[in-house]
């Protein structure tokens, strides 16, 4: 069909009579549509911008925590006892993870998980974050990265490392996987060590990948270092000697505390059994106990020097005063207090040397209960040690107004009151520091405390001579003697209380002593809990004291003050009352 001669205006389709209002209506509708879009844009981008921006941020903007590096714990010489190292941790986004069975099987193997355990972690597909394994090794992290599993990521965290391991575990303590202190100094100074985490705002896509950094980063503030009075070398040596003694005597446990006699600074505090702070599988209750600070016991004959020293200080007796201990026992209120062997008449020095219960009781009963109670309180018995350490206990010392004569008698040789080994070592600074009690400290201080005078200097010096006699061949602790250094101290062997009665087969062997005896530099206390066979403090605890004192004084550069030939002492008990 030819189109020639036909104009557009003559086409029947185009030549339609359309009402003007319809075209105007269509134009108006289009204009209103554009106006609605403009109003909506104004509503979203201007009037309610904050609301919709917040909604967007909830979906895509994330705040990444920038962990702070935990402060170090140092010994007195700057040796690192605890530090943090960066390690990778593995996490996943279940909603976006590629669930290739073969890859997941390899991933589970690398993480040390079963397939069921891994699937359980990934079962909630609505989650955007789940930990798969915290603090993995670098080789494991690299192997997982090489798998290139979509939705599996790495994050850097800090893992706590403990250089001295179980030797210093009870002092340093440990943190949990979140790097929060759980025991020891880690717990006591958690706020200082922990620092403050930083923040980084980013945009993540649906796969959990960071696609944009929004800036405004808040940098982390690392924790501050904490320096202790502990000497890592003394700590290690003391722990090793204690471990050997506990095993040798098949004991349940043991503790040792080594303190600087001049400053009260604790150079070592060790317990056995112990634990490895880096291995959380062995963090059981029995191993965690810092027995030197948290466990109390009746100290036995280690209390006798305080009673005798008080009587000398009050002028009630003199060193040569004779005390009749025959026939080796004394009856009071239906109870019999006895010595292992009758000694007849002893002077005051011999009462300490032979560790006579009867002699000590007779001296104690010459004094009013208030005087005895005041001295015990001054040296720290019944008083919580002023150390920032969780679980430190006060022990037990009854008010003197309630004492009966039999109680004053038993307390004079260490029954009827209780103390920790830490408190007992602090109490013995009375003799080492010429009558001044020095509070023990675990934290490094610029100036040592002044201490509290509780006894005349000349009396404390005279008591040191008696303590030296107790470690002589005639005393109860010849095994405390140390090659090259003069020593003095007191043994204690106390029956363990089981319920309301004392065991006839369970004991604690204790020794607390000083060295060198003329000008003491060390106060050392040792406790062996429930040794089998030989149980006297002079046989179980005193040898530990000897080894620790000799090694520590050499490390301190203290010149020997006495030439002592090596001795061979048999394992047979001395038989002296402790």
List the beta bridge partners of residue 489: 513
> Omega into 516 within 30° of 0, i.e. cis?
yes
Selected catalytic residue, list 83, 255, 301, 412:
301
> Among 259, 233, 244, 260, which residue's Cα sits nearest to residue 543?
244
Cα angle: 483, vertex 251, 291; to 5 degrees: 85
Contact of 189 with 226, CB cutoff 8 Å: yes
Contact of 281 with 287, CB cutoff 8 Å: no
- Measured CA to CA, the distance from residue 304 to residue 540 in angstroms comes to 19
SS3 content of the chain, % helix, strand, coil (to 5): 35, 25, 40
> Among 488, 506, 509, which residue's Cα sits nearest to residue 498?
506
> Among 419, 436, 431, which residue's Cα sits nearest to residue 522?
431
> Among 248, 265, 234, which residue's Cα sits nearest to residue 528?
248
> Omega into 273 within 30° of 0, i.e. cis?
yes
Q: Which two tokens stand for residue 297?
A: 């016991």
**How many other C-beta atoms can be found within 10 angstroms of the C-beta atom of residue 534?**
14
**In 3-state terms, what secondary structure has residue 452?**
strand
Q: Is 301 a catalytic residue?
A: yes
Where helices occur in 433-532 by DSSP H, the ranges are: 457-470
Task: Report residue 423 CA to chain centroid gap.
Answer: 17
**Quick one: CA torsion of 340, 344, 345, 350, rounded to 10 degrees?**
-30
> Among 440, 434, 444, which residue's Cα sits nearest to residue 464?
434
Which residue is associated with the tokens 């400053």? 263
- Measured CA to CA, the distance from residue 272 to residue 289 in angstroms comes to 9
Where helices occur in 441-536 by DSSP H, the ranges are: 457-470
- Measured CA to CA, the distance from residue 424 to residue 418 in angstroms comes to 10
Q: Which two tokens stand for residue 14?
A: 């185009």
**In 3-state terms, what secondary structure has residue 13?**
coil
- Measured CA to CA, the distance from residue 136 to residue 146 in angstroms comes to 15
Instruction: Give the DSSP letter string of 33-76.
Output: HHHHHHHHHHIIIIITHHHHHHHHHHHHEEEEEEPPPPPPEE-T
Q: Which two tokens stand for residue 56?
A: 């967007």
Where helices occur in 397-505 by DSSP H, the ranges are: 405-412, 421-432, 457-470
Residues designated catalytic: 301
């Amino acid at each position: 069909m030819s189109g020639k001669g036909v104009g557009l205006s003559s086409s029947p389709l185009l030549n339609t009579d359309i009402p003007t209002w319809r075209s105007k209506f269509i134009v108006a509708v289009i204009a209103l549509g554009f106006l609605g879009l403009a109003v909506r844009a104004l509503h979203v981008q201007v009037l309610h911008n904050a609301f919709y921006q917040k909604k967007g941020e909830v979906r895509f903007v994330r705040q990444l925590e920038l962990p702070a590096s935990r402060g170090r714990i140092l010994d007195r010489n700057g040796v690192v006892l605890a530090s943090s190292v960066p390690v990778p941790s593995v996490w996943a986004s279940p909603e976006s993870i590629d669930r290739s069975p073969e890859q997941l099987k390899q991933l589970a193997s690398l993480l040390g998980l079963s397939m069921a355990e891994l699937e359980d972690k990934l079962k909630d597909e609505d989650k955007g974050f789940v930990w798969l394994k915290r603090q993995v090794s670098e080789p494991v992290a690299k192997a997982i990265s090489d798998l290139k599993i979509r939705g599996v990521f790495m994050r850097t965290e800090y893992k706590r490392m403990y250089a001295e391991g179980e030797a210093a575990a009870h002092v340093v303590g440990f943190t949990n996987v979140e790097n929060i202190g759980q025991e020891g100094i880690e717990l006591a100074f958690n706020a200082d060590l922990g620092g403050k985490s930083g923040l980084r705002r980013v945009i993540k896509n649906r796969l959990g990948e960071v696609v944009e950094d929004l800036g405004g980063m808040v940098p982390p503030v690392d924790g501050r270092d904490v320096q202790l009075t502990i000497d890592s070398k003394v700590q290690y040596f003391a722990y090793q000697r204690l471990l050997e003694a506990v095993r040798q005597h098949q004991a349940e446990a043991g503790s040792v505390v080594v303190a600087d006699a001049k400053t009260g600074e604790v150079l070592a505090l060790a317990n056995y059994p112990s634990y490895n702070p880096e291995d959380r599988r062995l963090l059981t209750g029995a191993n965690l106990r810092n027995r030197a600070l948290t466990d109390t016991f009746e100290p036995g004959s280690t209390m006798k020097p305080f009673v005798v020293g008080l009587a000398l200080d009050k002028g009630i007796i003199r060193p040569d005063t004779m005390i009749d201990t025959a026939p080796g026992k004394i009856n009071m209120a239906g109870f019999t207090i006895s010595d292992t062997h009758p000694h007849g008449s002893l002077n005051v020095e011999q009462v300490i040397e032979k560790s006579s219960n009867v002699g000590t009781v007779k001296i104690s009963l010459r004094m009013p209960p208030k005087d005895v109670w005041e001295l015990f309180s001054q040296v720290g018995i019944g008083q919580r040690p002023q150390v920032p350490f969780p679980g430190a206990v006060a022990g037990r010392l009854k008010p003197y107004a309630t004492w009966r004569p039999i109680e004053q008698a038993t307390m004079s040789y260490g029954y009827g009151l209780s103390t920790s080994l830490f408190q007992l070592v602090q109490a013995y600074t009375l003799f080492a520091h010429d009558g001044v009690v020095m509070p023990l400290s675990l934290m490094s201080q610029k100036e040592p405390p002044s201490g509290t005078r509780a006894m005349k200097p000349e009396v404390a010096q005279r008591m040191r001579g008696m303590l030296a006699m107790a470690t002589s061949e005639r005393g109860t602790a010849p095994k405390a003697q140390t090659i090259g250094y003069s020593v003095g101290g007191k043994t204690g062997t106390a029956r363990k209380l089981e319920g309301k009665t004392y065991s006839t087969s369970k004991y604690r062997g204790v020794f607390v002593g000083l060295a060198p005896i003329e000008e003491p530099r060390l106060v050392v206390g040792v406790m062996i809990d429930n040794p089998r066979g030989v149980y006297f403090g002079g046989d179980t605890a005193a040898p530990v004291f000897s080894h620790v004192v000799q090694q520590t004084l050499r490390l301190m550069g203290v010149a020997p003050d006495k030439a002592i030939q090596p001795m061979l002492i048999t394992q047979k008990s001395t038989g002296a009352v402790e």
